[in-house]
Amino acid sequence: MKIAALIKRVPTTEAQAKVGGDGKSLDSSGFQYMPSFYDEIAVEAAIQTKEKVGGDVTVLTLGPQDAAKELREFIARGADAGAILVDPTWHARDARATAKALAKKISALGSELVLAGRVATDRDQASVGPMLATFLGWSCVTEVIALEIAPEKGVAKRETEHGVETVEFTLPAVVTCNKGLNEPRRPNLKGIMAAKSKPVAEEPAEAIENQAVVEKVELPPARKAGRIVGEGAAAVPELIRALREEAHVL
Amino acid sequence: MATVVVYVEQEGGKPVRASTECLSAARATGSTVVAVVAREGAKDAAAALGKFGASKVVCLVGASKYSPDATARDLAKVVRDQKASAFFAAATASGKDVAPRVAAELDSTLHSDCVGLEASGDGFRVVRPWLAGKAIATLSSRAPVTCATTRPNVFQASETGGTAEVLEVPASADGKAVVASVAPKPGGKLDVKEAPVVVSGGRGMKGPEHFHLIEELAAAFGNAATGASRAVVDAGWRPHAEQVGQTGKTVAPKLYVAVGISGAIQHLAGMRTSKVIVAINKDKEAPIFKVADYGIVGDAFEVVPALAKAVQEVRAHK
């Protein structure tokens, strides 16, 4: 089975936001980058599926050329090849523009199963996976915590507010992965050495005009300074009074 | 006047609160609102939607099993048939699953998890968090249909509407994925994203065996969900469904109580829009106190049981 895992380069979770000079973007000068948190769960699911049903795994990103670094790390864990749709302003694409460019590449790769993180931790859209599936006319299951893939179909579980859903689906499919699905493996030395000789292909990402127009970016309003109501259990009555009489939440 | 189609989620024939909030947010833009309800129980839920602002309700009926892709196609068809200029849904597990597909069916992009929504010229303007709320973006849309999901607990559900005309439309039966079964949550536990009160525990709880204190405090509030910091989820003390923060869930309850949580930037990003924040921590320098409205410096094992008892007493005398 030809499997693809999607990666997105995002600022690290420790990153502080600063508004860019145009007031419509983030100032990225202080950013360190990493693959989005959920991506390694998607790659692990891809490798486990390959180990079970055979085939190969391509890790695919739409991002800067430099993202080859992240792709090689995932190749070291057991993926077979990497591909970059190069766009130095990847973070400014809206979800549709990203999904459309990826859909074209997935068709060219001939993938039958695409695994992605449930959300990328920069723009927090959680949209590219299901949009990609829709553009391809494939089935899709989002935020899965359990996954079984057979040759032409699969079964997944996903958590909702009302309980755990069991979803049956046909392949080809896009599946987005939630924490709890698996424990991502670490690369070993052999994998790291082997990754150096594996191919990472590059091609320009298709230019697609954004529909989302950023009008302004701001930092969230600072919270009003609070107060320490006291120390230890003795402070409980004052807290209760404040919650009732000042905050009106009790 | 613009027409907005809203996907309303229901459970057991009752619309979920996040969806009635979304309906009211749509109505507040001054648009005509068409609600769409699916799954078993749709017809029972339809009657209540007029008062939340819907002037028409479309029930997708007859599907033996729910399919998200078939539902997305049905929703896109309603948007086209109604010549709607926008499509909204609540950012619940099901809304987040379906809305991107509806948007793609309409060749439109999606604005997820919006915290602001308003009419602007002949379109709409949305406000949504980036980097889990470390920055706030205001966007407009050039899409043929403005598609957005609304964050639960942010918009006010208001029952100021009238009655709605109810239509039944057969649901498509050609889904590529179907929900075969749902295992209900044990004991009707509230979800951390939906609950009006969230009580979260962190490393200061010292071990999973002490989290009954967090659960007891949540139980004292009556309408509270239990949450957790990333550290304790990574340590396996609590399930990942409870994790609040940039790599977990973003929550905006009326009251957030952080117990033994120091307040790493990635945790703060997930809860800083809560209306009132209470922090209980023995380190008075902990960053959590910088965002808290009220803080108690002290030992969680001493403060939490006392607080639970006091909350219980207040509620008993109401």
CATH number of the domain where residue A73 is located: 3.40.50.620
Q: What is the pLDDT of residues B31-60, one digit of tens each?
A: 999 999 999 899 999 999 999 999 999 999
Q: How far is CA A142 from CA A120, A139, A240, A249, B204, in A?
A: 13, 10, 41, 35, 33
**Nearest residue of A to residue B195, measured between CA atoms:** A161
Range B3-170: architecture per CATH: 3-Layer(aba) Sandwich (3.40)
Residue numbers in A near B11 (CB within 8 A): 162
Residue A181 pLDDT greater than 80, yes or no: yes
Q: What pLDDT, on a 0 to 100 scale, did the predictor assign at position A224?
A: 85
CB contacts of B180 in chain A (<8 Å) are 155, 166-168
**Alpha carbon of B33: minimum distance to chain A alpha carbons (Å):** 23
Q: Is B235 on the interface with A (CB under 8 A)?
A: no
* Domain assignments of chain B as residue spans, ordered by start: 3-170, 186-316
Report the gap between the CA of B101 and the closest CA in chain A (Å). 5
Residue B318 has pLDDT above 90, yes or no: no
The pLDDT value given to residue B274:
93
B167 touches chain A (CB under 8 A): no
Residue A123 lies in a domain: yes
The answer to whether B284 faces chain A, any CB pair under 8 Å, is yes
pTM score of the predicted model: 0.92
| CB–CB contact A14 B298 (8 Å) | no
For chain B, positions 214-233, list CB contacts with chain A under 8 A: 233
CB spacing of B311 vs A96 below 8 angstroms: no
Tell me what pLDDT residue B52 has: 95
- Give the per-residue pLDDT at A247: 95
- Which residue range(s) make up the domain with A171? 2-204
Contact B69 A97 (CB under 8 A): no
Judge whether B295 is closer than 8 Å to chain A, CB to CB. yes
**What pLDDT digit, counting tens, does each position of B146-162 carry?**
999 999 989 999 998 78
Please compute the mean of the pLDDT values over residues B7-21 and round it to a whole number.
95
Give per-residue pLDDT as tens, A52-72: 999 999 999 999 999 999 999
Name chain A contacts of B304, Cβ cutoff 8 Å. none
Q: Å from A218 to nearest chain B CA?
A: 5
Which residues in chain B are contacts of A178 at CB distance < 8 A? 240
Is it the case that residue B186 has pLDDT exceeding 80?
no
A-chain residues within 8 Å CB-CB of B306?
233, 236
Cα–Cα separations (whole angstroms), residue A87 to A53, A71, B130: 33, 15, 20
Put simply, the chain B residues between 13 and 52 with a CB less than 8 A from any chain A CB are 16
pLDDT of A77-91, one tens digit each?
Answer: 999 999 999 999 999
Contact B246 A236 (CB under 8 A): no
Separation in Å, CA B224 to CA B192, B227, B312: 8, 10, 13
Q: Which residue of A has its CA nearest to B236?
A: A180
User: In chain B, which residues have their Cβ closer than 8 Å to the Cβ of A14?
Assistant: 265-266
Asked whether the beta carbons of residue B295 and residue A229 sit closer than 8 angstroms, the reply is yes
Q: Hey, are the CB atoms on B176 and A124 less than 8 Å from each other? A: no
Binned at pLDDT 50, 70 and 90, residue B110 comes out as very high
pLDDT of residue A215 exceeding 90: yes
For residue B28, pLDDT over 90 is answered with: yes
Residue A189 lies in a domain: yes
DSSP string for chain B: --EEEEEE-EETTEE-HHHHHHHHHHHHTT-EEEEEE-STTHHHHHGGGGGGTEEEEEEEE--SS--HHHHHHHHHHHHHHTT-SEEEEE-SHHHHHHHHHHHHHTT--EEEEESEEEEETTEEEEEEEEGGGTEEEEEEE-SSSEEEEE-TTTSPP-------EEEEEEPP---SEEEEEEEEPGGGPPPTTT-SEEEEE-GGG-SGGGTHHHHHHHHHHSSEEEEE-HHHHHTTSS-GGGBBSTTSB----SEEEEES----HHHHHHHTT-SEEEEEES-TT-THHHH-SEEEES-HHHHHHHHHHHHHHHHHT-
Check A218 against B293: CB less than 8 A apart. no
Cβ of B276 within 8 Å of Cβ of A218? The answer is no
Residue A225 has pLDDT above 90, yes or no: no
What is the least distance, in Å, from the CA of B163 to any CA of chain A?
A: 28
pLDDT in tens, A25-55: 999 999 999 999 999 999 999 999 999 999 9
| Whole-number pLDDT of residue B191 | 85
Question: How much is the pLDDT for B187?
Answer: 65
CA distances from B93 to A213, A215, B118, B140, B179 (A): 26, 28, 24, 25, 13
Query: What is the nearest CA distance from A13 to chain B, expressed in angstroms?
Result: 6
Give the mean pLDDT of B163-179: 95
Cα B75–chain centre separation: 20
Task: Specify the CATH class of B186-316 in words.
Answer: alpha beta
> Are B110 and A95 within 8 A, CB to CB?
yes
CB contact under 8 A, B100 and A129: yes
The per-residue pLDDT for range B112-125, each reduced to its tens digit, is: 999 999 999 889 99
- The residue of chain B with its CA nearest to that of A133 is B101
Fold match between domain B3-170 and domain B186-316: yes
- Cα separation, B122 vs B139, in Å, equals 14
**A214: in domain:** no
Domain count, chain A: 1
B299 with A11: Cβ contact below 8 A: no
- Per the CB < 8 A criterion, the answer to whether B159 and B41 are in contact is no
Q: Of A126-130, A173-177, A240-244, B183-187, give the lowest mean pLDDT range.
A: B183-187
How high does pLDDT run on average in chain A? 96
Q: Which of B108, B177, B277 sits opposite A169 (nearest CB)?
A: B177
Nearest by CB: A229 against B247, B294, B299: B294
Across residues B126-144, what is the average pLDDT? 95
What percent of chain B is modeled with pLDDT above 70?
99
Angstrom distance (rounded) from CA B107 to CA B110? 10
Mean pLDDT to the nearest integer, A111-139: 97
Per-residue pLDDT of B242-279, as tens digits, reads 999 988 998 999 999 999 999 999 899 999 989 999 99
Q: State the complex-level ipTM.
A: 0.94
Q: What are phi and psi of A138, to 5 degrees?
A: -100, 170
Sort out which chain A residues have CB atoms less than 8 A from B69's CB and list them. 133-134, 139-140
